[in-house]
Structure 1
C-alpha cells in the first residue's frame, strides 16, 4: 500500500533527528523520543515518516488491543478465533483535545443499547500497544492526560475502573512527542519518561536549505511519484532496521563502557538513574544499527547527546542542551584512563565553585545581573471555585468547560451528557427493558485549569543594592517567572526605588519581556514602599475581571518615602497592605532583609496582607514547593 507520508529517507539536514527515531525503532523499550525545535523544522514530518520504515509485526486482523499472538489479552475476542498475520506497526496520534474515555477506553455504548452485558470499548492506548503513540505539541497536553500517560508508561498496563467496568490490558508503546519551547516546557516527570531528546533547527547551510525546499515542492506536486522515486532507499532502511532488531540481543557492552556511562551521568549532574539505563540501551542500538556486535566509545558519545540534554540540571531560563566540548574532554580523559578512581575530579569541581564565588558583583555596581536561583522552579497554586475560560495550567476551576470529568450529576437538560451514568440509571430503573428517559440523563462535571495574573513588586532601592542582594533578588524573580511561563500565566512587574514606583511591564504573557526589563533595572536610592503598594492596587483593579491575581512582593520593608508631605511611610505601607487584603488579593511576601539585626517589617506586611512570608534563602532551596491558598469568591 502506497503511503502518503513524506519518505523518511528523503529528509534532509536532520541526521540526529533521524538517528533518534531509528534507535527507538530498534529498541522500543527506550521510552521514545522528544523532538524540540522551532516551527517548520520537519518535526512532525519525520515522526510520521517513521511509520513507513518500521518492520511489520504479527497480529490478528480485527484485534482492537494489538495483542502479541503469544500473549493475547483475556478480553480480546478476535484473538481467540483469528490467525496472526504480518501487519504494519500501529501509529496512533493522540489529539490534544482527547477525553479520558477516548484515551483509556470506556463502556461500549452500541452493545449496551442492544441489551448486551457491559462491554469495554478499547481506547487509544490499546490501539498504540506494540506501536507508536504520537503527540504533536506534547507540552500543550492537558494535565489529566499527562497523568494518565505517566501511569501507563510506568506500568506498561492500562487499568480502567469506571462505569461498572474493571479492565486491564497491556499498553507498551514508543512515545514520540514534538514541541516548541515558545509554548512552554514539559512537566519534569513526563520529560524524564522520554528516553531520547533532540533539538532541531532549520539548516544554516544555503545548499541544504535549497535542497529541503526542492524536495518538499516535488513531494507536494506529486506525492505518489516522489514516494516511488525513494522506494529503494525506503526498502533498504526497512531491511537495516529488521537486521538491527535481530542483532540487538547479541550486542555486548562491557563493564568499562558501563563505568563510563555512569561517569558521564555524574559529571553532567544527572539525577535520574533512567539516564544510565537509556544510554546503555541507546549505545547498544547504535551498534546494532551499524551492524556491529560490540559497543564503541563513539557509540556512547552519540548516545550521550540524545540521552543527557533534557536530564541535566539547568537553571531557570538557561538554554537546554549539552556542552559538547565538555563531553569531548570527558571522552578524551576516559580514553587515557578507562577506569578513573572515585573522587578523582573532586578538586577540579571545588576550584570551579571557588571561581564562581569570586565572580560575584561588587558593591559599586548600579545594574545587577539576573542570575536565576538553583533548583527546580517552584509551583505556585491558587485555588479558585469559579469556572473561568482563561487558558492556563495553575488554578483549579470547578464546572469548567474543559478538563477531566470528576463526577456525574442528574440533569434533565445536560450540556455535556454523561453517557455511562445515564445508561446505568436507565438499566437500574428497568433492568429487563433498557429505555432512557429524561429522568435518567446525567451531566458531566469537569475540573479544569485557569491562568493567573502574577504581579511581581520588586524592591530596587539602595538598602538592598548596598548589601549586594539585588543579584539574588533578581534570580528569585527569574525562578518564579519560569513557573509562570510554564503555567501560561500573565505577568506584570512593578519596581520601586528613589521617589516613586514604576510599572515596568503591564500584564502580559511574554515573560521574556519581564526578564529583559528586570535585567536592565537599575538600583539605588530610597524605598518608596507605599507608592509601590498603591500602584499594585491600581494595576490589579484595572485588570479586574480577567485572570485571578496573585501578588508577589519582594522587599525588606524598610519604607522611607511617604506618599504625602509629613506622612509616615511605614504606616502608609501597612494601610495600603490592608486595602489589598480587604479586596481579597492573595499574596506572597519574600523577605529580603539580611544581617544580624533585623526589624522584621516584611513579616508584619505579610501578616497585614494575610500572606505567607518566606526568606530569600528559602526561595532558593532545592526542595522548595510554594503553595498559596487563596480565598476567592465565585464572582
Structure 2
C-alpha cells in the first residue's frame, strides 16, 4: 500500500498551499500552475491534497464518476442505464487523482472508439479517456510546459467548461469533466505560450526554504515518515481532519458570500495596474476573493481580499508597461536634428574611456527623418579620413540560458536537432495522431483498426480476423525536434563602446551561442562598423569558432546600419535556398544610429533594406536597443523595429533569459 505524506505536515510553501485549498473549495477558479525548481514539495502537495479531501459519492460502475444526486449532469452511460430501467447504485470513493504523463496521446486523454465493442457488435461506442476518469477529481500534470499544446488546450477547455466534447472517428460524445487542474513546471525547461498561461486561474512561484532550522525540520519530518508512515499519519490525523472539515464548511458557505461593488472595482483597478490582457483577471480575482472570504468564515468579500489574492491571480498575467515615447527638445520640433560631430565616431581615446554623446548620435531617428547623415568618413576640417581608434572589449560571463522551444506550425520540415517540435514528412519522429491522407507508407495500425471495426459484421472476412478496406487506411502524423538558424547582427561602431555596452552585448550573444550549440542550432553572425558590414561567422554549429570571432571583434568607427541589415538578409536568404526547413531569425543589436548609407542617404537606404527584409515572410526580426534612457534619447532603434515590424527590447533586457524568451515568442508566431 502506498502512503501519502500529510498535507498539514508540509513546512513552508504557504502560498502554494493556499492556492490549492482555494481551488479545492471552488474548482471554478481554473486550477493552479506551480512554477519552481526541483524538490520544493510540488508533487507532494498535490498528492496530499487529494488524500486530504473528503470522499465523494459516485454512481457504481460509472466511468465518469457521476454524482447520483445530480441528475442534470449524468453522463450518457448513466442515462443509457436509466433508459434501460436499471437502478442507479451509489458508492463512496476517494477523490480521484489522475497523473497525466507528458507522453500521453490525444486518444488516451479525451477518449476514442471502443475497438473491442465495435468488432463484436458492429456499432460505434465511446471509450472514455483520462478526462472522464478525472471528473470531480484532480488532474496533475508534471512539467506541463513540455506537454503538447493541443493536449494542454483540451485540458484547459474541459477544466473551464466542465465538459469534454469529443468528435472523432464518426463519434460525437460529451461527458462531464469537472476537475481541478494542477500543473507544475520548471521555468528552466521552457515556458507555456501566453494564451495557455492565461487560462490557469492561479500561478504560484515556489523556491526552496532557506531558513536552516526549517530545512532541518523538513528533513526530520521526511525521515520520520519514511521510517514509520502509519505512526506519522496518526500524529497528523487530527490536523488533517480539522482542515478537511474547514474545506467542507467553506464549500457550503461559498455561494452565500457577496462581492460588493467596491471590491469588484478594486479587482478592476488591480488588473489594470498589472496591464493584464482581457478581462479574465478581474473575473478570477472576484471568484478568488469570494473563496477566500468563505475560507475565513465571512459572508462578504472585501477590497482587502482582492489585494491578498492578487499575486496568485496576476503573477502570470502581469505585463511590462511600454516605454514612453522619447522626449524631443523643443528646438528639434522646428528644425532638422543637427548632424553629429565627427569626433564622436572618431575618438582620440578608446571608446570605453570617452563619455557618450547622445545628442550627436541621436540625429538619425527614422521617425524624425534623421537618417540623412553624411555618407562619408572624412573630416570637414582636414578633408581626409580621420584615424578611427578601435578597442576590443571582452565578453561578460555567459548566462545560464533557459530552454528555447519554438512553437510548432503546419509546415512539414526535415532536419535534426533538439530545439523545436515540428511535423515531419519521414517515418522518423513520434506518432502523435492519424490522418486520412495517404502520402507515405506509414500505416497507423490502431487508427485503421478503429475505422474498420464497426463494419466487420457486414464485410466478408475470408478467413481474416479483421477485414480492412481502402477507406479504412490511416497514416501516422509524426513530430520530431529540429534545430533553428539564428543570425546575430551586431553593431560594432564606436557608440557601442560607451558604458560597456559591447561587454554586455557580447556576453548575451555568447550565452545564446552556447545554448544553440547544445540544441544543435545553426548560428551566423554579421558585424558592421566603419563603412561596411562583414560576415563575422558563416552558418555554423561550432561554438568554439563563434567564441573566438566574438572575442576578437573590435569596436570603433561609424555606423553602416543599412549595410549590416542587408548583409544579414543576404546570409538568411542564402541559407533558405540551401535549407528551406529552417526559417531564420535576425537579432539586431544596435542603438539604431545609422549614419552611413549604401550610396544614398542613410535614412532612405535603411528604409529600403528594412522593407526588403519585411517582405520576406520567412525571415523574422528582433531589435535590441542598446541606447540608455535619458533626456536626449531619440528612440532610433524603436523606429528601426517599427520599419521591420520586429519585436523591440531595450538594452536593460539584454539578459539571457529575456532575450531567449523573446526569440521563443517570435518563433512561436510563425
Decide which of 443, 455, 459 is 2:486's aligned counterpart.
Answer: 455
How many Å apart are 1:593 and its aligned residue? 7.7
Partner residue, 2:259: 253
CA distance in 2, matches of 1:460, 1:18: 49
**Corresponding position: 1:395 with 2:422:** yes
How many Å apart are 1:134 and its aligned residue? 1.0
* Shift in alpha-carbon separation, 1:110–1:628, aligned structure 2, 3 A: closer
**Corresponding position: 1:583 with 2:615:** no
Aligned residues: 540
Decide which of 117, 131, 140 is 2:137's aligned counterpart.
Answer: 131
For residues 484-539 of structure 1, what are the alpha-carbon distances to aligned partners after superposition, in whole Å with 9 as ceiling and x for unaligned?
Answer: 99x97847463525697655997599xxx99xx99999853478x9xxxxxxxxxx
Decide which of 228, 231, 249 is 1:225's aligned counterpart.
Answer: 231
| Kept after mapping to 1: 8 A contact 2:113/2:127 | yes
Partner residue, 1:208: 214
CA RMSD of aligned residues (A): 4.9
- Normalised by the size of structure 1, how large is the TM-score? 0.71
Partner residue, 2:459: 429
* Shift in alpha-carbon separation, 1:355–1:67, aligned structure 2, 3 A: same
* Shift in alpha-carbon separation, 1:493–1:53, aligned structure 2, 3 A: farther
Partner residue, 2:14: 15
* Shift in alpha-carbon separation, 1:412–1:402, aligned structure 2, 3 A: closer
How many Å apart are 1:129 and its aligned residue? 1.6
* Shift in alpha-carbon separation, 1:608–1:277, aligned structure 2, 3 A: closer
| Kept after mapping to 1: 8 A contact 2:488/2:586 | no
Unaligned runs of 5+ in 2: 330-354, 362-390, 397-403, 596-601, 622-639, 650-661
* Shift in alpha-carbon separation, 1:140–1:573, aligned structure 2, 3 A: closer
Unaligned runs of 5+ in 1: 316-348, 370-376, 530-554, 560-569, 631-635
Question: In the TM superposition, what are the counterparts of 1:88-487 in structure 2 within 5 Å?
Answer: 88-115=94-121, 117-314=123-320, 353=324, 363=358, 385-386=412-413, 390-399=417-426, 401-408=429-436, 414=443, 416-418=445-447, 419-424=449-454, 426=456, 429-430=459-460, 435-437=465-467, 442=473, 444-462=475-493, 465=496
Q: Equivalent residue of 2:563, what SS?
A: coil
For residues 168-224 of structure 1, what are the alpha-carbon distances to aligned partners after superposition, in whole Å with 9 as ceiling and x for unaligned?
Answer: 112222110000000000111221111111111001100111111111111122223
For residues 249-284 of structure 1, what are the alpha-carbon distances to aligned partners after superposition, in whole Å with 9 as ceiling and x for unaligned?
Answer: 112221111111111111111113111111111111
CA distance in 2, matches of 1:413, 1:394: 19
CA distance in 2, matches of 1:192, 1:443: 36
CA distance in 1, matches of 2:49, 2:669: 46
Looking at CA atoms only, which structure, 1 or 2, has the larger radius of gyration? 2
CA distance in 2, matches of 1:355, 1:599: 24
| Kept after mapping to 2: 8 A contact 1:197/1:306 | yes
How many Å apart are 1:444 and its aligned residue? 3.9
CA distance in 1, matches of 2:441, 2:467: 9
* Shift in alpha-carbon separation, 1:243–1:488, aligned structure 2, 3 A: farther
Q: Equivalent residue of 2:101, what SS?
A: coil
* Shift in alpha-carbon separation, 1:109–1:247, aligned structure 2, 3 A: same
Partner residue, 2:631: none
Partner residue, 1:620: 647
For residues 352-409 of structure 1, what are the alpha-carbon distances to aligned partners after superposition, in whole Å with 9 as ceiling and x for unaligned?
Answer: 9489999x9854999899xxxxxxx997877653566645445332355325314157
Partner residue, 2:556: 524
* Shift in alpha-carbon separation, 1:234–1:261, aligned structure 2, 3 A: same
- Normalised by the size of structure 2, how large is the TM-score? 0.68
For residues 137-186 of structure 1, what are the alpha-carbon distances to aligned partners after superposition, in whole Å with 9 as ceiling and x for unaligned?
Answer: 10000122123224434443222222222211122221100000000001
Partner residue, 1:73: 75
| Kept after mapping to 1: 8 A contact 2:528/2:563 | no
| Kept after mapping to 2: 8 A contact 1:403/1:447 | yes
CA distance in 2, matches of 1:128, 1:265: 32
| Kept after mapping to 2: 8 A contact 1:587/1:628 | no
Q: Equivalent residue of 1:270, what SS?
A: coil
Decide which of 601, 604, 609 is 1:602's aligned counterpart.
Answer: 609
Partner residue, 1:337: none
| Kept after mapping to 2: 8 A contact 1:384/1:395 | yes
Q: Equivalent residue of 1:285, what SS?
A: helix
Q: Equivalent residue of 1:557, what SS?
A: helix
* Shift in alpha-carbon separation, 1:434–1:127, aligned structure 2, 3 A: farther
Bigger RCO of structures 1 and 2 (CA < 8 A, at least 6 apart): 2
| Kept after mapping to 2: 8 A contact 1:32/1:176 | yes
